[in-house]
Structures are given as C-alpha cells and as structure tokens.
Amino acid sequence: MELLEKKISECGKIFPGDVLKVDGFVNHLIDTDLMCEVGKEFYRLFAGEGVTKILTIEASGIGIACLAARYFHVPVLFAKKSKSSNMAKDSYVTKVASYTHDQVYDVVVSKEYLSPDDKVLVIDDFLAKGNALNGLIDLVSQAGAKLVGCGIVIEKAYQDGGKLLREKGIRVESLARVASMSVEDGIKFCI
Amino acid sequence: MELLEKKISECGKIFPGDVLKVDGFVNHLIDTDLMCEVGKEFYRLFAGEGVTKILTIEASGIGIACLAARYFHVPVLFAKKSKSSNMAKDSYVTKVASYTHDQVYDVVVSKEYLSPDDKVLVIDDFLAKGNALNGLIDLVSQAGAKLVGCGIVIEKAYQDGGKLLREKGIRVESLARVASMSVEDGIKFCI
C-alpha cells in the first residue's frame, strides 16, 4: 500500500535492536485518516469472506481494528493482556511473549464473545516473529471459530513469522512489507 | 443519547461493588456501529471548537476515540499506562489510581505529540470519580495545550467526578448519565 509505505519512509524511525518506531502515526499518536485508508484496504481484501468479527490485541491494535470494522460493520473483540489470568474459567487463554517488553503475558478473551459461528479476521499493527498473531490464532482455534485470515499493517518480512503462518495455509495480508532496514540504508520494502 | 441508554439498559450488567459491566459493547467486544454513533454525537457537540487532537487512555478509550476522530479528521493520542515510567525525560507523566485494578499507574504521553498549539478533546468510556479523566487533563495542562472539553460514554452521575470537573468550569459531555443502579431496581438514567 503505497500511501502507507510513503508514510513509513517519511516518519518511521529506526533504532538499534531492530526497532521500527512508528508511534507518530500508528501506535501512540494515531493518524486516523491514514488508518481509515488501511481499514478500507483490509475491507477490499477480505470483503467477500463473510467476516463476522474482528479480533485484535490491546492496545495498539484496537484503533486500527475499529477503523476497519466500520467498513465491515462487525464488532471488534480485543484480547486483553494479563500477567496472571484470574478469568480462566470463562475465558480462552493463551500465552504470548512480548519482544518489546521482554515478558510473557496471558492473553485472554471472554468465551461469551467468540463462538464456532464466528468467521474471524485478525488485525494487528505489527508482524515480526508472529508471537502475538499466533496467540490470537490460538484463541480463534480454542473457540472453534473459523479464521478468515490476518490483516497486518507492517510486516518485518525478513523475520519468519509471516512465512511460517503462510506455510500453514493461513492467509496473511500485510499492507507494508519491510524487506530490510538499517540506520545507514533506511527502510526497504518488498516489491 | 437514547440509543446508548437503550443498549445499556438491555445489555449492561450490574455486579456487586458498583460495577456496571458493558464489555459486550464498549470495552471488550466493541459494537463499532454504536460507537460510530457515539463518535458522531461527540462531533455534533464539539464540532465548533477547533479540536486538533483527541486524547484518550489505553485500552478501552482507544476504539471510541478513533471512531470519533473520523468525524473530526484529527489524530488520536492515547496515553499509556506504565507501572514505572522510564520515559520521563521525553514524556509528560501523571499518576492515576485505578478503581478496577486497585493500583496506581504512571500515565504517560510523549512530549512530541502534545503541544501548546493543540486544542484537545479528551474522550473516555467511563467517568465515576474522575481519576483517569483528571490524569488526562493534567497531561493537557502540562503540555500547555488548550482543553476543549471531555466526551464521556457513560457517567456514573451519582459519583462526584463529573460534578467536580464541571464546577471547575470544564465542559464535560456524557452521553449516558446513570442516576442510580442496583441489582434490584436496574439502571436509572438522569433526565
């Protein structure tokens, strides 16, 4: 998605430790007009799939998921991070390791809101190793719901999260795929 | 807002400890069509005020703020909760006590994204004692930005958070104001 790649090139900041900081338009300050375009593109890609629910994870997935949901006219369910889950009985729980925070979280959704009748589109801001995404996919699977696919804003395509998911037959659509990045050479996108 | 009050009456659940659970449409599963109407109403109320930015707090404020922002065409800045802030130098930091989690958080926004030129609309899902809202207002004040007002989805009007803010001359617009609630008598709204 050209508009998005342009914005990443102009406003994304590269930091040591393979960090691409996009908190000026994605995950702290949200450029809602741009994220509406992102949502519209997800809709274009998944419109024919009968999506009944969008699943994301707090916090930075929520805004993107909600702005996409207006095109689908479906509810957004956001999974909650918890250091120790005390809602296990009524919830689907999975474990997600956070690269950014060097921690393992329980990630939970209430059983009430995800069912075998659901056709779920998973949306998140980043895909690198795929930790968060695999957790969300596990929650869909626990609920017996159908996974339609995954919509990602930025994929670090040089890490293997996306590759492994696609090899399993899961449809992963990333709107910007970073081929490489470094402080010296900047950001290069997959063609 | 009649549509919202109707939904709260039908789907809100009252639990001991003064808990009004609306996680079926506000803060876990998000009814995005309803929250679009909420956003449209915030726009109707604050459209003439020259809002440049919407400020909210993770996690449950983000979806509502983003869906409102599409009417205003302004970015959303979401304040982050942190147990101990390590970003103090580049951030505005305030302390917020969480009733739900019985904890005090540092709540932070990057200085880069809030400036004296901003006219800020603060949006959140709940207003009771006003802890979160006071924290967000403090961040606006630290930045030297102008506070346009506060847009709240549900106010527990029998608690004094909203009253105290209005007495200070702050414009607080709550779309559903709960006058009283109990398991026996249900939810009554302010007229």
Radius of gyration for the alpha carbons in chain B, expressed in angstroms and rounded: 16
pLDDT digits (tens, 9 = 90+) for A180-191: 999 999 999 998
Å from A25 to nearest chain B CA?
Answer: 8
B145 interface with A at CB cutoff 8 Å: no
pLDDT digits (tens, 9 = 90+) for B54-95: 999 999 999 999 999 999 999 999 999 986 555 568 999 999
Q: Which two tokens stand for residue A79?
A: 């999974």
Q: Which two tokens stand for residue B50?
A: 């020259």
Q: Which two tokens stand for residue B2?
A: 């009649």
What is the predicted pLDDT for the residue at B101? 72
Q: Is A55 helix (H, G, I), strand (E, B) or coil?
A: strand
Q: Which two tokens stand for residue A72?
A: 């689908």
Closest to B140 in 3D by CA, of B164, B123, B156? B123
Q: Name the residue of chain A whose CA is nearest to B73's CA.
A: A33
Query: What separation in angstroms does the CA of A43 have from each of A50, A140, B33, B84?
Result: 11, 20, 16, 39
pLDDT grade for A98, boundaries at 50, 70 and 90: confident
Q: Render B168-189 in DSSP notation, one character per residue.
A: TT--EEEEEEEEEEETTTEEEE
B132 interface with A at CB cutoff 8 Å: no
Q: Mean pLDDT throughout A33-58?
A: 98
User: What percent of chain B is predicted at pLDDT more than 90?
Assistant: 90
Q: What is the ipTM of this complex?
A: 0.95
Q: Which two tokens stand for residue B53?
A: 């930015």
Contact (CB<8Å) A67/B62: no
Residue B100 predicted with pLDDT over 80: no
Contact (CB<8Å) B32/A58: no
